[in-house]
Amino acid sequence: MLTVFLAIFGCLIVIIGVLVILSPGKPRPILDAYGRPVVGSISEKTFVTINGVSQGMFIMGKDKDNPVLLYLHGGMPDYFLTERYPTGLENLFTVCWWEQRGAGLSYRPDIDKKTMTVNQLVSDAIAVTDYLRDRFGKEKIYLMGHSGGTFIAIQAAAKAPHLYHAYLGVAQVSDQLKSERRAYEYMVSEFQKNGDTRWVRKLKAAPVTIKEGVPKSYLSIRDAAMHPLGIGTTHDMKSVLGGIMWPSFLCRQYTLREKFKMWRAKAAAGVSVVWDIMITTDLGSTLPQLDLPVYFFEGIYDYTCSYTEAKLYFNKLKAPLKGFYTFDLSAHCPLFEEPAKMNKIIREDVLNGRNELSDST
């Protein structure tokens, strides 16, 4: 027994040692074709006091004079995915990958839970916007939200449209209760077709209904059920463990302590106040108009934030300029899954205030 214990302990020490070596915690520089840092580029991990709380962010860009883009993540920070799925956004923008209050680099176990509200996160987003405008000398910046981050970002855009050139929603939240119902029905149907009685049984034990809502028992299995069907994070990602958790621990731009904080924050969030509000909100009713250009980027296989519901919301939404873009090879993350198409749209449409590549033109 002692021998087995020592062997296990030894393996753990080795694993931790390897993870420490793989966790220097320094952002990668922007390099030219010869492997040298690009003159005028920016690559930093920084902490800024936002509304009284220290909040972390990565700021990356090939040219500091480029337009500035503020990116709001969803349920957890996803900057680490850029190592496996380079977005190329840093070639078009100075990108701020902000890790929001209570998440990732910005997690603190003693944070006042009363400050973890939708209004506070919207206020934080606007404050980060002002920090970036002041630092980089920009009158306006671009605002991008992804998944749950769109719920905060679109409200920031509605509250302060004068601060942004445009709003970009990737996997846009719309009516999340209907989205979850669509996902539930699809998964039950597909698993029945595949003869997977185990997943059918699990899902039917935690039904999602418009009347009763989304049970916690469903949320605890949803992501694990989505990935084998190709409707989760990316169309090619088959598990959360191999596709998200393991890559997060391999990302060299976080220290090991920061990596554990990221997952501790994810676990601590549980079903958050933001989720409780988001699941009962239909943005088509509560936010039917934006006073700035709006662009939606949607993966056809996305059931985390329903493609169908996003399109229904887009068709209702009033804005001075709109563009809806379907990504035929993507699930929940077209910016990671189809970066070339994403960059072409941004370069030709978004940065020029047009929508010529949009589905609807």
Identify whether 21 is part of a domain. Answer: no
* Number of H-type helices and E-type strands within the chain: 14, 8
Looking at 1-15, 66-80, 192-206, 283-297, which range is the least confident one? 1-15
Output the domain CATH number for residue 354: 3.40.50.1820
Looking at 11-15, 241-245, 304-308, which range is the least confident one? 11-15
- At 189-203, the pLDDT tens digits run 999 999 999 999 999
- At 82-98, the pLDDT tens digits run 999 999 999 999 999 99
Structural domain including 110 reads 45-361
Identify whether 36 is part of a domain. Answer: no
List of residues 6+ apart from 68 with CB closer than 8 A: 93, 94, 95, 96, 132, 133, 136, 138, 141, 142
Mean pLDDT of 61-69: 97
**Mutual orientation of helices 148-159 and 118-136 as an angle, nearest 10°?**
70
Cα distance between residue 274 and residue 279, in whole Å: 9
Looking at 5-9, 60-64, 103-107, 131-135, which range is the least confident one? 5-9
Identify whether 67 is part of a domain. Answer: yes
DSSP letter (8 states) at residue 245: I
Q: What DSSP element (H or E) covers 41?
A: none
Residue 351: is its pLDDT beyond 70?
yes
Identify whether 253 is part of a domain. Answer: yes
The pTM for the full model equals 0.94
Closest CA to 48 of 105, 112, 111, 122: 105
Identify whether 88 is part of a domain. Answer: yes
- Residue 225 is predicted with a pLDDT of 97
- Residue 361 is predicted with a pLDDT of 52
Mean pLDDT of 249-277: 86
Alpha helices per DSSP H over 137-204:
148-159, 176-194, 197-204
The percent of residues above 90 in pLDDT, for the chain, comes to 83
- Residue 23 is predicted with a pLDDT of 75
Residue 125: is its pLDDT beyond 80?
yes
DSSP letter (8 states) at residue 75: S
State how many domains the chain has.
Answer: 1
Identify whether 271 is part of a domain. Answer: yes
- Residue 30 is predicted with a pLDDT of 92
Identify whether 127 is part of a domain. Answer: yes
Residue 360: is its pLDDT beyond 80?
no
The answer to whether the CB of 283 falls within 8 A of the CB of 314 is: no
CB-count exposure of residue 297 (10 Å: 0-12, 13-18, 19+):
buried
The total of other beta-carbon atoms located within 10 Å of residue 267's CB is 8
Identify whether 6 is part of a domain. Answer: no
